[in-house]
């Protein structure tokens, strides 16, 4: 399971909290401890100094050089009297380091202390001090000062005190630490809540939007906010969403085009098939007079011819649009090509009683001669169909700038402004030529447009002011 921002923040805060509580406690406790020890040592030192001074003064006064038992008894009495004022444990040792007086443990009188470093140092005439841990875990401080009589060490004033127990210290320390951590935990929770809200709100926003987007609503976008990183993420998401939306709408459009194409094709197939079937069924019934039978047979021939032309046209379109530059490219003279197209259509145009004339010339263009002839053939076919009997179709070849241009002009009804954007669509037939007897499937201009585009050219239709329609095809002229 992935942890949330909140969990991670909480973990981070807790680590910081515990670490800082620990660090601070250790620091302050050690400061406190060393301060206490320093103070205590000062006190032990001044008490033992006073004591050493007092013993030395008494001995000087009575002219003694060695601490005697009698002096020891007198000192015990004196210490007992001073007792309440002396908080420390006081011992007076003789010049050998043997206890003559002990304020706290009278039973310890006679014990030897000459082996402890502080006493050893005092026996040599200089102050000694030490810190040790006693058997019951307490920190004890020891200070020993020599009792100087006539410049010689006559004894030692030895003071000591235990400080706070280390265990007490640890317990106290743990308690404080616990309290600090607890405080930090509470703080961490509050901070985490606030911060994670602040940090993750824009992320949750983004996630919500992404879910909606994935659910199919491609119009949703995030409002970039929060930190710069999250903002960048939001921007990136929006860019991606724009792209996906565009692609999706293109796909939908493509899908619609395909569906329309299929329904158009089946619609185109239905008419000739119905005619062929009707004729064939009538013939099958028998009893058809010779003349009518011929009529039906010619219907079958004509309609099946139309079907095969439709199939050819669709195939041509498919090939051109799916082609990947494998056209056989040669230099093509458009005048010559127009001439061939006119000759090929002669039987048709003559049957329509339309004259086709060719004028002008242009530099060659690069392309596929047969395809270019098909372009001009389709345009001339349309023009001659639209032109009334006895009229003329003019094919003008010319050079304009760097382009070789062919215009096909007819004397027909012209072309409606609203049809112009559509005439190059597949299966499109303008209202005026809806009657199928005169027209084909509406693929001619779609083929023209596909071929022209594959030759880097353009094709346009326009009504002529003097009547009729002009189709203009332009190709880039071949250099040299």
Ligand X SMILES: Nc1ncnc2c1ncn2[C@@H]1O[C@H](COP(=O)(O)OP(=O)(O)OP(=O)(O)O)[C@@H](O)[C@H]1O
The single residue among 444, 447, 452, 469 that binds Mg ion, judged by CB under 5 A, is 444
Whether 214 contacts 206, CB under 8 Å: no
185 binds, among ligand X, Mg ion, none (CB under 5 to 8 A by kind): none
Tell me: does residue 383 bind ligand X (CB under 6 A).
yes
Tell me: does residue 88 bind Mg ion (CB under 5 A).
no
384 binds, among Mg ion, ligand X, none (CB under 5 to 8 A by kind): none
Tell me: does residue 272 bind Mg ion (CB under 5 A).
no
Between 315 and 456, name the residue whose CB sits nearer to Mg ion: 315
SS3 5: helix
145's enclosing H/E stretch is strand 138-149
Tell me: does residue 121 bind ligand X (CB under 6 A).
no
**Which burial class, exposed, middle or buried, applies to 348 when counting CB atoms under 10 A from its CB (0-12, 13-18, 19+)?**
middle
Residue 253 DSSP label: H
- Kindly determine how many residues on this chain lie close enough to bind ligand X according to the rule CB under 6 A: 21
Least gap, CB of 423 to ligand X (angstroms):
4
Least gap, CB of 215 to Mg ion (angstroms):
47
Q: Which two tokens stand for residue 204?
A: 């949750």
- Of the candidates 136, 168, 51, the residue with the CA atom closest to the CA atom of residue 101: 51
Report the C-alpha dihedral over residues 270, 292, 283, 300, rounded to 10 degrees. -30
Tell me: does residue 349 bind ligand X (CB under 6 A).
no
Tell me: does residue 473 bind ligand X (CB under 6 A).
no
Q: Which two tokens stand for residue 159?
A: 């003071």
- Of the candidates 376, 457, 471, 391, the residue with the CA atom closest to the CA atom of residue 423: 471
From residue 398 to residue 437, the character string flagging contacts with Mg ion as x (rule: CB under 5 A) and all else as - is: ----------------------------------------
Whether 126 contacts 146, CB under 8 Å: yes
Tell me: does residue 428 bind ligand X (CB under 6 A).
yes
345 binds, among Mg ion, ligand X, none (CB under 5 to 8 A by kind): none
**Which burial class, exposed, middle or buried, applies to 93 when counting CB atoms under 10 A from its CB (0-12, 13-18, 19+)?**
buried
Report the C-alpha gap between 442 and 64 in whole angstroms.
Answer: 146
Tell me: does residue 230 bind ligand X (CB under 6 A).
no
From residue 431 to residue 470, the character string flagging contacts with ligand X as x (rule: CB under 6 A) and all else as - is: --x-----xxxxxxxx----------------------x-
The CA-based angle 390-392-395, given to 5 degrees, is 160
Tell me: does residue 314 bind ligand X (CB under 6 A).
no
- Of the candidates 87, 65, 90, the residue with the CA atom closest to the CA atom of residue 76: 90
Tell me: does residue 337 bind Mg ion (CB under 5 A).
no
The single residue among 67, 90, 95, 423 that binds ligand X, judged by CB under 6 A, is 423
Binding site for ligand X (CB under 6 A): 378, 382-383, 386, 410, 412, 415, 423, 428-430, 433, 439-446, 469
């Amino acid at each position: 399971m992935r942890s949330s921002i909140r969990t991670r923040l909480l973990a981070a805060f807790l680590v910081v909290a515990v670490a800082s509580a620990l660090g601070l406690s250790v620091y302050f406790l050690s400061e406190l401890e060393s301060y206490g020890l320093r103070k205590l040592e000062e006190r032990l030192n001044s008490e033992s100094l006073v004591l050493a001074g007092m013993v030395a003064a008494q001995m000087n006064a009575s002219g003694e050089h060695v601490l005697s038992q009698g002096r020891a008894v007198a000192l015990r009495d004196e210490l007992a009297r001073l007792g309440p004022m002396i908080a420390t444990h006081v011992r007076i040792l003789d010049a050998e380091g043997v206890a003559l007086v002990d304020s706290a443990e009278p039973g310890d009188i006679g014990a030897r202390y000459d082996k402890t470093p502080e006493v050893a140092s005092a026996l040599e005439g200089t102050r000694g001090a030490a810190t040790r841990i006693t058997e019951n875990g307490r920190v004890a401080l020891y200070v020993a000062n020599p009792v100087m009589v006539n410049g010689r060490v006559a004894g030692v004033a030895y003071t000591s005190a235990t400080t706070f127990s280390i265990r007490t210290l640890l317990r106290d320390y743990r308690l404080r630490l616990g309290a600090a951590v607890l405080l930090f935990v509470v703080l961490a929770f509050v901070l985490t809540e606030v911060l994670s809200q602040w940090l993750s709100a824009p992320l949750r926003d983004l996630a919500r939007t992404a879910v909606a987007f994935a659910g199919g609503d491609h119009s949703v976008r995030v409002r970039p906010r929060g930190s710069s990183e999250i903002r960048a993420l939001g921007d990136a998401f929006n860019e991606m969403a724009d792209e996906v939306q565009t692609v999706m709408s293109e796909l939908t459009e493509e899908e619609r085009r395909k569906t329309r194409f299929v329904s158009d094709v089946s619609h185109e197939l239905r008419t000739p098939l119905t005619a062929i079937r009707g004729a064939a069924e009538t013939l099958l019934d028998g009893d058809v007079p010779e003349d009518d039978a011929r009529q039906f047979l010619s219907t079958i021939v004509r309609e099946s011819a139309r079907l095969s032309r439709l199939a050819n046209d669709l195939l041509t379109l498919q090939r051109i649009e799916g082609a990947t530059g494998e056209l056989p490219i040669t230099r093509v003279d458009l005048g010559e090509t127009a001439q061939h197209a006119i000759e090929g259509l002669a039987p048709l145009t003559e049957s329509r009683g339309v004259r086709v004339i060719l004028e002008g010339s242009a530099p060659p263009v690069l392309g596929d001669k047969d395809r270019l002839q098909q372009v001009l053939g389709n345009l001339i076919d349309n023009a001659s169909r639209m032109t009334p009997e006895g009229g003329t179709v003019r094919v003008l070849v010319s050079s304009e700038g760097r382009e070789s241009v062919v215009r096909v002009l007819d004397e027909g009804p012209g072309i409606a402004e609203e049809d112009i954007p559509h005439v190059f669509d597949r299966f499109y037939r303008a209202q005026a030529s809806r009657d199928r007897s005169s027209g084909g499937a509406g693929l001619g201009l779609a083929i023209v447009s596909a071929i022209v585009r594959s030759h880097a050219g353009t094709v346009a239709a326009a009504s002529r002011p003097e009547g009729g329609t002009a189709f203009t095809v332009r190709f880039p002229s071949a250099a040299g």
